[in-house]
Chains A and B, each alone.
Chain A
Amino acid sequence: MLTKHQIFKMGSLAVGPHMLSVIPFGIICGAIGVEMGFSPYLVYAMSIIIFGGASQIVFLQLLSGGASTFIAVTSVGVINTRHILYGAVLSEYLEKLSLLKKLVISYFIVDQGFAESNKFLRKNKDQINKHYHLLGTGITLWVCWQISTIFGIILGSFIPEELGLKFAVPLTFIAILINELRKIDHVIVILVSGISSLLFFDAPLKSYIIIAPLVSLIAASLVLKFKK
């Protein structure tokens, strides 16, 4: 049986490589918020209150582009609906915890942390302290996100835009999915989601980010029927 500390550390190490994208993205997020003329305190507070990279940037872009606050808030909600899917997956592993622990752990659920902890949790269902993995990935990502947004706010976009570090974001997610490419059913689901996201890209309120997963989960249920 692994200790809390060991599992936390495993989670922390598991998201280490993703810092290659999280840190530049956090810096960009802080820098563009200030460049658009928002108060540095507001830009930083978003990293604590919302804590969701893409949705923070979209929120600021919409507001500075003159969209209503209603549209901006709704877009954040829509972009982040994917967490509902993560929660549905994770609920199985967290069911025995107290309500308070569930409420605390929920706050730290983000894409990369979910992806890495999900791999661990699947293989370690019997570990009593398995939820510490989610805390390890989540808190590590949280700390790095806070520090990198602050750097972005204070120093501005000190990383030249020509470097195209935004491109590290899709690369991180490619790295997360790479092992799923070995299974044909997963490849089908990946392609359905990817192609749907391109087709629905112009749907209102950035809803492609949840439409594409839902379409491909329907495809997944069909794939499962065929497998049986």
Chain B
Amino acid sequence: MTWLSVIIAGILTYLTRTTMITLVNRNVLSNNVKQVLSYVPAAVFPAIIFPAVFFNDSGLLDDLNSPKIIAASIAVLVGYFAKNVIATILSGLISYWIIIFLL
């Protein structure tokens, strides 16, 4: 039963990946739609970022001075000026560790 459900979940997931690519003809999409679609990264990724940063493990809003919020802010600042993916991720992780282990 569990195996079957994994397979169904896999098929569903694959369909989410392939539907638009195999079925949609680019001519169907108007220029307006294409312009809106250029915001997809800005629309999708914050929904992954915000809950992970602002909620604690029990799903409640954290204090504004929580380690994750401070470390994420540092990562944003470093990333903005350094324009470098590794610097962004590492500055966030390292400041997170400094706050929880040393302060």
Contact = CB atoms under 8 A, between A and B. Distances in A.
Interface of A: 17-18, 20-21, 38, 42, 45-46, 49-52, 54-55, 59, 63, 69, 72-73, 76-77, 80-92, 94-95, 99, 102-103, 105-107, 109, 111, 114-115, 118, 162-182, 185-186, 189-191, 193-198, 201-202, 208-210, 212-214, 216-217, 220-221, 224
A106 to B, nearest CB: 4
B46 A193 contact: yes
Given A92-B26, A92-B29, A208-B47, A69 B2 contact: yes
A201 B51 contact: yes
A92 B45 CA distance: 21
Contacts of B80: 178, 181-182
Contacts of A80: 12-13, 16-17
Nearest to B90: A20
Nearest to A92: B26
B14 to A, nearest CB: 6
A81 B20 CA distance: 11
Contacts of A87: 16-21, 24
Interface of B: 1-10, 12-14, 16-22, 24-26, 29, 32, 34-55, 59, 61, 68, 71-72, 75-76, 79-80, 83, 85-86, 88-90, 92-93, 96-97, 100
A16 to B, nearest CB: 8
Nearest to B92: A171
B22 to A, nearest CB: 5
22 contacts: A18-B85, A20-B86, A45-B3, A49-B9, A77-B16, A83-B13, A85-B43, A87-B21, A114-B41, A118-B41, A167-B68, A170-B72, A172-B89, A174-B49, A175-B88, A179-B83, A181-B80, A197-B46, A197-B50, A208-B47, A212-B46, A216-B43
A176 to B, nearest CB: 6
A109 B79 contact: no
Contact of B54 (A46, A72, A182, A198): A198
A51 to B, nearest CB: 7
A84 B16 contact: yes
Contact of B53 (A52, A165, A170, A220): A170
Given A179-B83, A198-B50, 4 more contacts: A50-B13, A174-B89, A213-B40, A224-B36
A164 B100 contact: yes
Contacts of B59: 201-202
7 A-B pairs closest in CB distance:
A87-B20, A49-B10, A106-B18, A194-B46, A194-B50, A175-B88, A178-B79
